[in-house]
């Protein structure tokens, strides 16, 4: 450790001076060895002064020659073939100089002494540097905690990596893993070479932290698949292209092109076009349910910039609540942050929270939204999305909350799955309360898929591309609407400020996007090619798996075509028919009964009956408008 600290603290001029002194001292040593080898006959009958003069002159010449040839500027951890060649030039030049000087002073006899001197000088100089190099490498290896690395592939790229990292202070190469059996059990670049069959045992026994793939001949998708498999061993996995590839024209970063989703979808930055709504939330007590989710957390961030008096965060996920609470706590703005850990189905908790914190605005984002999971867990989905909305909305009206906004989804329009049906029923609950509320303004915001949210197709495609594919597509003709999280959150905030009561707001989201086209664009934007019949040698395949239960081919945003404008041209207000107060009450009674009995078949039949009735009424109401 002391040697390592001493070596690393030396400045470059100090290191160069040390090497110059060592190169100078090696001259008398080499000459002495040559005289010992050849015996006393090599000494001429000249005075000792002549010999001293010769040695002194050679030492000065050695210092000058070492500096001129750049020996003092070669780092020890880089002292390889080029350094040895320079050392050879250094030794030969001094040998020739010694012979020429000796013609004048006559201190030595014959030619042999100068040949031996040159050879000894070269070997001594090389040996001195190689010994110091090994001592330095050993000092690095014992100099503290280092990341232990396995190199997968003993090709030239792997060997170059091993040589480059031998003296790295923070990294330690342990061994090579090589699939070629002719290289297994050998030692390359000072490291043992093992078969991939021993990889798992090596990771455990050698406490490996990272595996580096050095497989320049393998395709990017092959490397991605191998990396995905190796990560199951609990190590980091990195991929290194060949150094020649890195330096080739136009290839640097060719496989790491960032996927700009907004550009792929042809969306502008609508969030910048939407007006700010700070005045609607400034000085208010704002409660956000589902505050730790994708939409909820973005709502929290945007509300935080509106100078509220307090933000009340409700989420049943401890981790999600902790994360958003920590983020908001680090903002410089001055407002109170109240984290509430609990479910929206807890009536006492919701009522107590509204009373205790004098809530002015509620943004209800809490919902189970993953279509396949809700389809498999219909009771939980209905309890949370329908009954939970009923509890929060009724508590808001009873507490005199000024505005209540429900975050809904395009899947609530003519739903064919439990998740969409639960959100439509939640909309009906809010519409019913809006018709009977005098103090609280109820509204709903309906939008399509949100980019980057949990469960969205975009993160799924990114993950599948990262592991080499295939990308899973439910149907070649499937289309979806998309918007960014920022757009969605701003729309919610604007809708709440525009609400008159019972409104359904939708965003002008442009044309629906074919998911097959999106998958192809994401593959190509990541630097890969699509593998299909036209391109059988492509990188990543798109695999059609079939529509999932309850999944629609095309989503809709509107039940009725009756649309009204709002103060912003990108936001539309929709007038839709709804179930009557008695019908909503009966539907909620039936759902509550099915939840209490935990009878999924009854729950599904109830949902189907009421959704069918709602859809029929909506289409009947819309018929005169379309005729």
Core vs surface per residue 250-265: b (16+ CB within 10 A) or e: eeeeebeeebebeebb
Of residues 460 and 7, the one with the higher pLDDT is 460
How, if at all, do strands 482-484 and 503-507 pair? Answer: unpaired
* Residue-level pLDDT at 26: 81
User: Catalytic: 249?
Assistant: no
Q: Which residue has the higher pLDDT, 624 or 121?
A: 121
Beta carbons of 544 and 475 less than 8 angstroms apart: yes
CA dist 90 and 79 (Å) reads: 15
Of 495, 421, 482, nearest in space to 447 by CA: 482
Answer positive or negative: Cα dihedral of 326, 328, 333, 335: negative
DSSP states of 493-541 as a string? HHHHHH--SSEEEEE---SPEEHHHHHHHHHHHTT--EESSS-TT-SEE
Q: Which residue has the higher pLDDT, 278 or 78?
A: 278
Q: In 3D, which of 297, 304, 306, 301 has the Cα closest to residue 275?
A: 306
Q: Calculate mean pLDDT across residues 564-579.
A: 72
Token match 């975009």: residue? 458
Q: Given this model, what pLDDT does residue 244 score?
A: 54
pLDDT at site 361: 94
**Does residue 113 have a pLDDT over 60?**
yes
Query: Which pTM value belongs to this model?
Result: 0.58
Neighbour tally for 500: CB within 10 Å: 10
Q: Which residue has the higher pLDDT, 290 or 229?
A: 290
What gap in Å lies between CA 226 and CA 530, rounded to an integer? Answer: 19
φ, ψ for residue 415, nearest 5 deg: -65, 145
What is the per-residue pLDDT across 62-96, written as a single tens digit (0 to 9) for each? 778 777 777 666 655 555 555 677 777 777 888 88
Looking at residue 250, what is its pLDDT?
A: 44
Instruction: Say which residues have a Cβ less than 8 Å from residue 173's Cβ, sequence separation at least 6.
Output: 149, 150, 151, 161, 162, 165, 166, 191
Lookup: tokens for 266: 């042809």
Beta-strand ranges (E) seen in 58-207 are 147-152, 171-177, 187-188, 191-194
CB 71 within 8 A of CB 83: yes
Select from 510, 513, 514, 555 the least CA-distant residue to 371: 555
Give the Å distances, CA to CA, from 576 to 272, 397, 405, 429, 505: 30, 22, 17, 14, 11
Instruction: Count other Cβ atoms within 10 Å, centred on residue 398.
Output: 13
Say what percent of the chain tops pLDDT 70.
77
pLDDT for position 520? 83
End-to-end CA gap in the chain: 88
The mean-pLDDT minimum among 18-32, 63-77, 110-124 falls in: 63-77
β-sheet bridge partners, residue 540: 530
Q: What is the pLDDT of residue 74?
A: 60
User: What is the pLDDT at residue 324?
Assistant: 94
Query: Is residue 588 pLDDT above 60, yes or no?
Result: yes
Residue bearing the bigger pLDDT, 241 or 522: 522
* Pick from 477, 485, 407: nearest CA to 444: 407
| Residue indicated by tokens 């007038």 | 575
Q: Which two tokens stand for residue 174?
A: 């342990």
Average pLDDT score, the chain: 79
Q: Residue 213 pLDDT more than 60?
A: yes
Token pair 């395949």 is at which residue? 541
- Show the DSSP H helices in 289-338 as ranges: 294-304, 318-329
**Dist. CA 277–CA 402, nearest whole Å:** 16
- Multiple choice CATH, 147-247, 3.40.50.970, 3.40.50.1000, 3.40.50.720, 3.40.1190.20: 3.40.50.720
> Where does the pLDDT of residue 291 fall: very low under 50, low under 70, confident under 90, or very high at 90 and above?
very high
Could you give the residue ranges of the DSSP H alpha helices within 170-313? 199-205, 220-230, 243-247, 261-264, 270-273, 278-281, 294-304
pLDDT at 622: 58
Instruction: Report angle CA 11, 70, 61 to the nearest 5 degrees.
Output: 105
- pLDDT at 2 exceeding the cut of 60: no
Query: What CATH code is assigned to 367-449+484-510+561-623?
Result: 3.40.50.720
When pLDDT is averaged across residues 595-623 and rounded to a whole number, the result is 83
Containing H/E element for 479? strand 479-480
Given a cut of 50, whether residue 253 has pLDDT beyond it is no
β-partners of residue 406 are 364, 444
More confident residue, 482 or 262: 482
Average pLDDT over residues 184-194: 85
Residue 537 main-chain phi, psi, to 5 deg: -100, 20
Q: What is the C-alpha separation between 548 and 551, in angstroms, rounded?
A: 5
* Predicted pLDDT of residue 73: 65
Interhelix angle 12-38/48-68, nearest 10 degrees: 140
Please report the sign of the dihedral spanned by the C-alpha atoms of residue 140, residue 142, residue 146, residue 148.
positive
Of 25-34, 95-104, 274-283, 426-435, minimum mean pLDDT range = 274-283
Q: What is the reported pLDDT for 249?
A: 46
Q: Which of 390, 411, 423, 552 is catalytic?
A: 411
147-247 and 367-449+484-510+561-623 share one CATH topology?
yes
Lowest mean pLDDT among 38-47, 284-293, 383-392, 490-499: 38-47
222-243: pLDDT as tens digits: 777 787 778 778 788 887 765 5
- Are the CB atoms for 422 and 607 separated by under 8 Å? yes
- pLDDT classification of 530: cutoffs 50, 70, 90: confident
**pLDDT > 90 fraction of the chain, expressed in percent and rounded:** 25
Asked if residue 396 has pLDDT above 90, the reply is: yes
Q: How far apart, in Å, are the Cα atoms of 505 and each of 129, 185, 479?
A: 76, 69, 21
Predicted confidence band at 549 (pLDDT cuts at 50, 70, 90)?
A: low
More confident of the two residues 533 and 456: 533
Cβ-proximal residues to 271 (8 Å cutoff; 6+ apart), any chain: 484, 486, 487, 490
**Is there a contact between 15 and 109 (Cβ–Cβ < 8 Å)?**
no
Distance CA 56, CA 17 (A): 18
Q: How far apart are CA 344 and CA 363, in angstroms?
A: 12
Q: Which of the residue ranges 218-227, 280-289, 467-476, 610-619 has the most confident prediction, judged by mean pLDDT?
A: 280-289
Is the model more confident about 190 or about 178? 178
Distance CA 385, CA 370 (A): 12
For residues 465 and 4, give the distance between their C-alpha atoms in angstroms, rounded to a whole number: 44
Q: What is the pLDDT of residue 165?
A: 72
Delimit the domains of the chain by residue range: 2-141, 147-247, 367-449+484-510+561-623
List the structure tokens of 90: 């250094």
Element (H, E) at 446: strand 441-447
Residue 326: pLDDT band by 50, 70, 90 thresholds? Answer: very high
Report which of residues 567 and 387 the model is more confident about. 387
User: 324 to each of 304, 358, 433, how far by Cα in Å?
Assistant: 12, 22, 30
């Amino acid at each position: 450790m002391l040697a390592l600290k001493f070596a690393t603290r030396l400045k470059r001029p100090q290191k160069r001076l040390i090497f110059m002194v060592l190169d100078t001292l090696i001259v008398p040593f080499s000459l002495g060895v040559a005289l010992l080898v050849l015996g006393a006959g090599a000494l001429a009958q000249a005075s000792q002064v002549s010999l001293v003069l010769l040695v002194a002159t050679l030492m000065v010449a050695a210092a000058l020659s070492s500096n001129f040839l750049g020996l003092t500027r070669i780092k020890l951890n880089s002292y390889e073939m080029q350094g040895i060649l320079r050392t050879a030039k250094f030794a030969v030049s001094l040998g020739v100089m010694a012979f020429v000087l000796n013609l004048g002073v006559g201190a030595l006899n014959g030619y042999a002494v100068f040949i031996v001197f040159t050879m000894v000088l070269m070997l001594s100089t090389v040996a001195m540097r190689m010994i110091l190099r090994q001592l330095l490498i050993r000092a690095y290896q014992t100099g503290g905690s280092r990341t232990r690395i396995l190199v997968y592939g003993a090709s030239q790229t792997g060997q170059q990596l091993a040589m480059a990292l031998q003296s790295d202070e923070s990294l330690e190469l342990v061994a090579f893993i090589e699939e070629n059996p002719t290289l297994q059990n050998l030692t390359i670049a000072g490291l043992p070479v093992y078969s991939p069959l021993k990889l798992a045992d090596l990771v455990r026994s050698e406490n490996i932290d990272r595996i580096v793939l050095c497989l320049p001949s393998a395709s990017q998708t092959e490397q991605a698949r191998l990396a995905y498999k190796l990560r199951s061993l609990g190590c980091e996995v990195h991929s290194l292209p060949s150094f020649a590839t890195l330096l080739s024209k136009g290839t640097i970063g060719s496989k790491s092109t960032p996927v700009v989703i907004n550009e792929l979808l042809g969306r502008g930055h609508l969030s910048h076009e939407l007006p700010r709504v700070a005045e609607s939330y400034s000085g208010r007590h704002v409660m956000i349910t589902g505050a730790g989710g994708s939409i909820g957390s973005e709502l929290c961030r945007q509300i935080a910039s509106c100078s509220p008096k307090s933000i009340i965060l409700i989420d049943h996920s401890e981790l999600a609540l902790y994360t958003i609470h920590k983020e908001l706590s680090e903002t410089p703005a001055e407002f109170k942050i109240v984290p509430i850990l609990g479910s929206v189905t807890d009536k006492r908790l919701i009522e107590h929270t509204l009373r205790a914190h004098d809530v002015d605005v509620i943004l209800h984002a809490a919902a189970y939204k993953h279509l396949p999971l809700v389809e498999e867990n219909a009771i939980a989905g209905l309890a949370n999305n329908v009954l939970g909305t009923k509890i929060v909305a009724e508590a808001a009206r009873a507490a005199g909350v000024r505005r209540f906004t429900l975050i809904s989804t395009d899947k609530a329009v003519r739903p064919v799955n439990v998740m969409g049906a639960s959100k439509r029923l939640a909309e009906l609950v809010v519409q019913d309360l809006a018709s009977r509320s005098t103090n609280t303004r109820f509204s709903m915001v309906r939008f399509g898929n949100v980019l980057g949210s949990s469960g969205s197709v975009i993160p799924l495609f990114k993950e599948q591309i990262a592991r080499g594919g295939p990308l899973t597509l439910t149907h070649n003709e499937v289309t979806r609407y998309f918007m960014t999280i920022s757009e969605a959150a701003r729309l919610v905030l604007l809708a709440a400020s525009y609400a008159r009561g019972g409104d359904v707001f939708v965003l002008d989201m442009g044309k629906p996007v074919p998911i097959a086209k999106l998958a192809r664009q994401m593959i190509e934007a990541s630097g890969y090619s699509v593998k299909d019949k036209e391109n059988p040698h492509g990188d990543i395949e798109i695999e059609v798996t079939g529509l999932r239960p309850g999944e629609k081919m095309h989503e809709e945003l509107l039940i009725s075509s009756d649309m009204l404008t709002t103060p912003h041209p990108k936001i539309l207000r929709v007038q839709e028919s709804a179930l009557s107060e008695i019908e909503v009450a009966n539907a909620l009674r039936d759902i509550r009964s099915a939840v209490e009995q935990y009878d999924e078949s009854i729950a599904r039949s109830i949902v189907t009956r009421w959704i069918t009735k709602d859809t029929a009424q909506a289409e009947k109401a819309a018929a005169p408008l379309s005729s």
